[in-house]
A and B are shown apart, each in its own frame.
Chain A
Amino acid sequence: MARLRWQGWWDPFSSLRYMQREFERLLGRGFPFGESHAIGGGVYPPVNVFNGPNDILVQCEVAGVKPDDLDISITGETLMVKGVKKGHPDEEKLTFQRRERGMGEFSRTIILPDKIDADRVEAKLNLGVLTVRLPKSEAARPRQIKVNA
């Protein structure tokens, strides 16, 4: 049976949150009346961090987000990915039968495992996946130590 997204960590409150959103919608609150949805149970975008010998790779899943709507910044050893996932244009004219994708602002802060060289960071958005490559600073790279006999 196909599973829904991001069930690697089990969220015990996801069904309650879903019910709360449905009630809010019935009562005329929540998106599009004011507050934005918490996308995916509140943790968005999902992130993978890979730590290599010379650089750190961070992958974020941001399908449907345009490159202009992303705001990526680095402060020290912290990477912050912020942005907004816009809804459908002309929403009022549409009748929704099913609405599973969330929209709204998102922000995720990732503490990097090592010191990086902020001037050489590259970010690419391809097929809805943002890949940020952060080269490590000289001091953080592994160095071989020769043993003197």
Chain B
Amino acid sequence: MPEKTEKIAVRAEPARPQPQENTLAPLVDIYEEADGTVVLVAEVPGAAADKIDVRVDKGVLTVWADGRLEKPASDYAETYADFSAAQYFRAFALGDEIDRDRIESSLCEGVLTIRLPKAVAAKTRKIEVKTG
């Protein structure tokens, strides 16, 4: 059964200090939809919704997630390890035309999607030329 998408609150708070050890930058895709909404898709496997922190402050969007998996009991020997679970952290500069209050983020199957809509005033508007 596919996982439900969970909403993640976006907080307007100063950024959390970036942890140094064992921090990875999550892979992201950033794209723009037809109406100008910017969508950021970040891979944070292993991070549950309550271990994700998305904040916007002074034009900087920061994403922090704790993707540390539970280690199996100590009587398991590690035969092969490609990845060790880690904390994820990445910061992005937001353009002026993004509407800070309407930023939404949600988590589904280890993928965090953040939607950054353009402020209405910033959308391109045609100006009518009046004659006479």
Contact = CB atoms under 8 A, between A and B. Distances in A.
- The B interface, classified by DSSP as helix, strand, loop or mixed, is loop
B83 A63 contact: no
A64 B23 contact: no
Interface stretch (B8-16, B39-47, B122-130): B39-47
Contacts of A125: 109
15 contacts: A6-B82, A43-B82, A46-B82, A48-B84, A49-B78, A50-B77, A61-B83, A61-B110, A62-B45, A63-B110, A88-B31, A93-B34, A101-B28, A127-B46, A129-B69
- Which of the four size classes fits the interface of chain A? 35 or more
A65 interface: yes
A41 to B, nearest CB: 12
Interface residues of B, number: 43
Contact of B76 (A50, A99, A110): A50
Interface of A: 2-6, 8-9, 43, 46-53, 56-57, 59, 61-68, 88, 93-101, 110, 113, 125-129
A66 to B, nearest CB: 6
B39 to A, nearest CB: 8
Interface of B: 1-3, 18, 23-34, 38-39, 41, 43-48, 69, 72-73, 75-84, 89-90, 109-111
